[in-house]
Amino acid sequence: MKITMREDEVFDRVKKTISNMLQVFNRDISADLTKETNINADLGVDSVELLDLLGALEKEFGIPIEAEKVVGVKTIDDFVKFIVNAQK
């Protein structure tokens, strides 16, 4: 039986993945991230860094994430919902 993660667990792991990727902060910024955080407008993640982020999320959650399927995904909540749906 496939076990799906709860949304709040996915949220915590997405925040951690983003914080780890943005290494230059040298600290865990997970606590500063909210569901409404816009990864481009608030975190400066551009199109190339977005690809790195998708790779990190694929590794974290063990699911393939094609770049075309996340067009329009802008906030952390968007990513959380995408990953929860991908598990179903």
Partner 1 sequence: MKRRVVVTGIGAITPIGIGVKEYWEACLRGDCGTDDITLFDASNYQTKIAAEVKGFNPSDFILPEVYRKLDRFAQMGVAASKMAIEDAGLENQYDKQNNNIPVIIGTVVGGGMFHEEQIFQLMENKEPRKVLSSSVPRIAPNAVTAYIAIQNKFRGPNIAVSTACSSGGNAIAFAARHIEDGYSDMVITGGVECPITPFTYAAYQSLRVLSKGLLGKKLSPRPFDKKRDGFVLGEGAGILVLEELEKAKARGGRIYAEVVGHASNCGVYHMAAPDPSGEDAAMVMKEALTHRGIEPKEVDFISAHGTATQANDICEAKAINLVMGSNRPYVSSTKSQIGHTIGAAGAIGAIAAVLALKNDVVPPNINCDEIDENCNLNIAQNSKQCKIRYSMSNSFGFGSNNTSLLFGKL
Residues that bind partner 1 (CB under 8 A): 22-25, 43-46, 48-49, 51-52, 55, 59
Minimal distance in Å, beta carbon 51 to partner 1? 3
3-class DSSP state of 75 = strand
Q: Which of 49, 78 has the CB closer to partner 1?
A: 49
Tokens matching residue 53: 């982020």
Q: Which of 8, 66 has the CB closer to partner 1?
A: 66
Minimal distance in Å, beta carbon 74 to partner 1? 16
Q: Which of 62, 63, 66, 17 is nearest to 43 (CA)?
A: 17
Tokens matching residue 49: 């860094």
